[in-house]
Structure 1
């Protein structure tokens, strides 16, 4: 597999699915396995979900393989894969614990590995488009993730967001399709100057060949996104034979945590929500015109 696919996050998720498959093949529930391994159920849950902060000691991995009755081939593969996690360090690791909540680091890794990202934002400009001034306004909100009185922590959170934006212009950048609610464009965040700058930044990003931005007007009326709130759907590269190496993921974020959905019936729901909204949005040209119009209104304010 290429380095873009064997990044720590994707590797860990593949390890997790392999361990889950072996456990189930052995006829063990997570509770039974945890008891026999003398580990907490929560630890096994983190392993099987590909949590970024899990450390795979060789002795622990071998103990799991022995309990699950893994074949020599499966054992060799998992021992090699878990060893690789001890060698990888992704760029965002420096921000963990300072500007990057642990529950968000998995998303950063998935975003970094995705080939296609579909994102709906109901209230805020997407993080991949945000200006420094706009982000500074958001960090004043009492959301608990960043200490409002810690300037250094806030600056690291802002720098993280800026570094994330390099994703859109890197070699083999993902395709990013964004739908934003009209409220995102019209509701002022900070002053008029901040909003004018921010909307021009959205327009600049929309000029990239791999980025599309469309606006869901108020006049669209009832739409499926109302039942879901903001969300992202991430698709990943396929192997040389066109096979899926990582299932799509739907990501939903809250103030204190996030939900990652990757079961086919779960992602299918978000596919249908996305499809409903794409039938109601302005096209790219009209979306850009609306954003430009509102940006000019802020510039004159």
Structure 2
């Protein structure tokens, strides 16, 4: 299922999670919120569960945001998201989030909700493991999703990338499994100092109990990832009824947009690719040794 079809249901579940988080941050039960908003508890329940037929009138959304004491940023985002459900848009193409690719807000929300994230990267260090200096070099590249002429946009994008890394050390952090191609280590981004610092950052992250990093060495030869390019597979926790809050999603990013695949045969195909590259990659210990070895080469350069 591509983003054009999946958008509405994913978007509604995302809206529901954000409203639930804001309500809880405001210290209100669902009953208290329903009473103060003069809405039925069942309606609040449907909103927070991402039900398909909830209509989000702008006045109602503003009233909820006011009651919950939402920040300007959260208010802008939720107003844009709920407006998209009324207009049946592919909202992540239309929401102008300064410093973000227009389709990327959905990914950030899914990433934050995931219990298990697997990423294969053939070219670059994954965003959750990047240093600020490395990220700065990437965002200066032409042809990316950030306007290279807009320094404020670049700064905000870099700051967001760094802030997202808190995900790995938060309470109930997701399990992150990363496989990077050896080319990620060997191809310099910036100078040798930036690369040495970046590789040490990967090693530091790999010490976390919920993070594993493996390298797919050149010696592995042809592998399934050569056909797929970079991708992420996200799996989600179960709710109180033992049901996943989202079906597993495979995420593919391109220069002009993103694709979210959540049909069982689609995620099965990416699980199969993952199994192939994971089987060919160096184990964790040998991967760390190789990363350390290449980091030392950069340090001596």
What secondary structure does 1:178 align onto?
strand
Indicate how the Cα distance of structure 1 residues 261 and 205 shifts in structure 2: closer, same or farther if over 3 A, else same.
Answer: same
Is 2:195–2:298's contact at 8 Å kept on the other side of the alignment? yes
The 1:261/1:45 distance shift into structure 2, 3 A limit, reads closer
Cα separation, 1, equivalents of 2:42 and 2:271 = 34
Asked if 2 retains the 8 angstrom alpha-carbon contact of 1:52 and 1:105, the reply is no
SS, match of residue 154 in structure 2: helix
Give runs of aligned pairs for residues 1-301 of structure 1, distance below 5 A. 46-50=7-11, 78=46, 82=54, 87=64, 97-301=97-301
> Residue deviations 1:173-196, cap 9 Å, x none?
000000000000111011000000
Deviation digits for residues 53-100 of structure 1 (CA, Å, limit 9, x no counterpart): 999xxxxxxxxxxxxxxxxx9978546655697647697877952111
Provide the C-alpha distance between the structure 1 equivalents of 2:206 and 2:100, rounded to a whole number of angstroms: 26
What secondary structure is seen at the aligned counterpart in 2 of 1:239?
coil
Q: Deviation of residue 47 (structure 1)? A: 2.8
Instruction: After TM superposition, give the deviation of residue 241 of structure 1 in Å.
Output: 4.9
Give the Cα–Cα distance (whole angstroms) in 1 for the partners of residues 158 and 132 of structure 2.
7
Aligned partners of 1:47 and 1:54 also within 8 Å? no
Contact 1:119–1:231 under 8 Å retained in 2:
yes
SS in structure 2 of the partner of residue 279 of structure 1:
helix
Counterpart CA distance in 1 for 2:45 and 2:284 is 46
Task: Provide the aligned length of Structure 1 versus Structure 2.
Answer: 243
CA apart distance, 1:105? 0.7
Moved over 2 A (4+): 44-49, 51-55, 73-97, 239-245
Alignment partner, residue 32 of structure 2:
none
With 210-219 and 134-143 compared, the bigger mean Cα shift is at: 134-143
Query: Partners of 2:12 and 2:140 in 1: how far apart?
Result: 29
Cα distance in 1 for partners of 2:147, 2:195 equals 24
Q: Does the CA contact (< 8 Å) of 2:146 and 2:154 recur in 1? A: yes
C-alpha distance 112-274 of structure 1, shift in aligned 2 (>3 A): same
How many angstroms apart in 2 are the aligned matches of 1:51 and 1:143? 31
The equivalent of 2:87 in structure 1 is none
- Measured in 1, the distance between the counterparts of 2:275 and 2:15 equals 36
Which whole-Å deviations, capped at 9, do the CAs of 1:184-222 have from their partners, x for residues lacking one? Answer: 011101100000000000000000000000000000011
Give 5+ residue unaligned stretches, structure 1. 1-41, 56-72
Q: Which residue does 1:18 correspond to in 2?
A: none
Closer/same/farther in 2, CA of residues 153 and 218 from structure 1, 3 Å limit: same
**2:14–2:109 contact (8 Å) kept in structure 1:** no
CA RMSD of aligned residues (A): 3.0
1:153-177, CA deviations, whole angstroms, 9 ceiling, x for partnerless residues? 1110100001100000000000000
1:28-65 Cα shifts (integer Å, max 9, x gaps):
xxxxxxxxxxxxxx8x974345279999xxxxxxxxxx
Unpaired segments ≥5 residues, structure 2:
17-40, 78-94
**Alignment partners' CA distance in 1, 2:44 and 2:211:** 41
Q: TM-score, normalization: structure 1?
A: 0.73
